[in-house]
Chains A and B, each alone.
Chain A
Amino acid sequence: MRVPATTGGVKVRCFLPPWYPIIWEEMIYWQSKFWLYLATYMLSPMLFLLSFGFGVGRRLQMIMPGGMSYLDFLVPGVVALALFNNGVTSVTVRMFYTRLHFQSFEAYRLAPVSNFSICLGYTLAGAMRGLLAGLIVLTMVFLLVPGLKLNWPFFGAMLLASLCFGTFGVLIGLCLRSFDDQALVSEFILVPVTFLSGTLIPVERLPGFLQHVVWFFPLTPAAELLRTTLTGNGFNWRLAAVLGGWCVVLFTLGWLRLKMLDG
């Protein structure tokens, strides 16, 4: 048997960024499961649109501030939900299984890649998944809702929101310790954030104290930013700054959490 050289060391290095393998792995999953993703990402937004938008939507007109059409309100909300749910969940689930179940996450931690790059790779993977879901929903909405006008600021807002949700997914994924934790995260974080962040119901119509509390959820500024851009009111830099702030805070917390795991 010919033995491949084992001690020479690979001297030449390639110029791919250190986080690239995490994205590459994500793309492999996309290739093998694209149709499954497509069906999954379409289902719940379609249910929201059919039940809330085309179903009870006309009756909800009375709760809309400033006489806005409920469908116009709902569309960016549903896109924000797609970005949030798929961006966060894809990273959280991937991290949960690779860290705690299959332990394949250790392969990343044993590679000469910094914790920063690992966090960045997973964040980008989550953001990409969120964006894919968002674009699928957008295509569906484009077919179902006549007169929808897209613009570049809206795509900028989608990008920023998906990055923010990627960082949120990384932080949650790194904090999970058991299967029960995953259920707790779903019940106590994802579900309340989904329904209270101005996606399906205007923030102004929530009970008084909740109107302030929901601004501590990253989905609220994301939904609002998507809405202002889609309705042609320009890119709201204040909301973008809030979302950017969330990105920095969540990414830093995830990075620190990964450092803590070394201990």
Chain B
Amino acid sequence: MKGAGSDTCVQEQPAVMIELKDVVKNYGRITAVAGVSFQVLQGEIFGLLGPNGAGKTTTIRMLTTLTRPTAGELYVAGYPVATCPVEVKKRIGVVPQQNNLERELTGRENLLLHALLHRMPRVERERRIEELLDYVGLSSRADERVQHYSGGMARRLLIARALLHCPPILFLDEPTIGLDPQTRRKIWDLIQLMNRDGMTVLLTTHYIEEADSLCHRVGIIDHGRLIALGTPAELKERLGNYCVEFLNEQGTERHFFATRSEAKAYAQSKDFDTVVRRTNLEDVFVELTGREARELASV
């Protein structure tokens, strides 16, 4: 499914498209982001994972110029976000967590509004709008008001809107939240197709399987700090590639092992039912962020 970068004769160092250096964001006494640093390379799909309130949305808002950091430096497409916000905005597409389309406008009018805001010339904007409506499968419903759209349709229109001005970098904040599995998979396909076309993608998600199957690298953020960074395979390997799982009075217990034989030996030493399976990204996430349920508010 994944496959960033193409086989080329000359191995060039990919450009850094997104960079955060010791970024801090305080809201009064509350620290939403506490010194986060990472880079996203050209052509990568980078996933930012974390429980509710971990600081994912705040990080995206700072990168997309909507919120000023308290401290630290952010660069997008090589431009410092603090001093060149307009240059940054020209080069990014943003799919927000919440549907922020104009409800009273039609799908086509929403795209036209975005094209006008990006000052696209008439011929170009008309071509792109038709192309993207077709791309996200909304051509037949383009002249209906957005207030009549389903959640999945609105989400697809948000993606089309974010792509309209041909940005090299796309930010997606929880792109599939609240969608049915079919629509979710359709959106995964769209993200992968965009990436195959060379686009750099930074997405935040609650859905671990989404990050596992889509992202080339993931960063796990908790309490405003980046607590793990790497490819999904690397993160699983750090924990142990095999998991032995069993249920006891305290709940489900999991133990991790580097090899299948070690895991099997441990499982056989128990005189009750156990499951031996490959470690997944959700295991990594739960081990790193803890098992306590978090509040629903998104920071």
Contacts and interface: CB of A to CB of B under 8 A. Distances in A.
A1 B67 CA distance: 36
Tier of interface size on chain B: 35 or more
Interface in B196-243: 196-199
B179 interface: no
Nearest to A97: B103
B104 A107 contact: no
Contacts of A113: 86, 117
Interface in A112-144: 112-114
B197 A6 contact: yes
Contact of B166 (A6, A103, A105): A6
B136 to A, nearest CB: 10
A36 interface: no
Interface in A6-63: 6-10, 12-14, 16, 18, 20-21, 24-25, 28-29, 32
A14 B89 contact: no
Contacts of A107: 100-102, 113-114, 117, 161
A14 B119 contact: yes
Interface string A49-85: 0000000000000000000000000000000000000
A110 B122 contact: no
Nearest to B97: A103
B72 to A, nearest CB: 15
Interface in B85-124: 86-87, 89-92, 94, 96, 98, 100-105, 109, 113-114, 116-122, 124
Nearest to B116: A21
A25 B120 contact: no
Contacts of A28: 105, 109
A14 B135 contact: no
B55 interface: no
B116 A20 contact: yes
B53 to A, nearest CB: 19
B64 interface: yes
B168 interface: yes
Contact of B86 (A1, A29, A32, A114): A114
Contact of A112 (B98, B118, B161, B166): B118
B80 interface: no
The DSSP consensus for interface residues of chain A is: loop
A116 to B, nearest CB: 11
Contacts of A213: none
A39 to B, nearest CB: 18
A104 interface: yes
A208 interface: no
A24 B197 contact: no
B247 interface: no
B163 A4 contact: yes
B71 interface: no
B67 A6 contact: no
The interface centre, meaning the residue of B87, B91, B121, B132 with most chain A CB atoms within 10 A of its CB, is B121
A104 B128 CA distance: 21
B196 A3 contact: yes
B103 A106 contact: no
Contacts of B132: 4
B105 A25 contact: yes
Contacts of A12: 121, 124
A32 B90 CA distance: 31
Contact of B68 (A8, A32, A105, A263): A263
B167 A6 contact: yes
Contacts of B120: 10, 13-14
Contact of B102 (A10, A20, A104): A104
A159 B33 CA distance: 48
A106 B117 contact: no
A111 B94 CA distance: 10
Contact of B114 (A3, A8, A98, A111): A111
Contact of B117 (A10, A13, A21): A21
Interface string B120-153: 1110100010011001000000000000000000
A110 B168 contact: no
B193 interface: yes
A9 B102 contact: no
B66 interface: yes
A102 B197 contact: no
B65 interface: yes
Contacts of B156: none
A108 interface: yes
A16 B116 contact: yes
A213 to B, nearest CB: 36
- Counting from the closest, the 6 A-B pairs by CB-CB distance are A111-B117, A21-B116, A112-B89, A4-B131, A103-B100, A14-B121
25 contacts: A3-B197, A4-B131, A5-B166, A6-B166, A9-B166, A10-B121, A13-B120, A24-B113, A24-B116, A25-B105, A28-B105, A28-B109, A29-B104, A98-B102, A102-B103, A105-B100, A107-B113, A110-B92, A111-B89, A112-B86, A112-B90, A112-B118, A112-B119, A263-B67, A263-B68
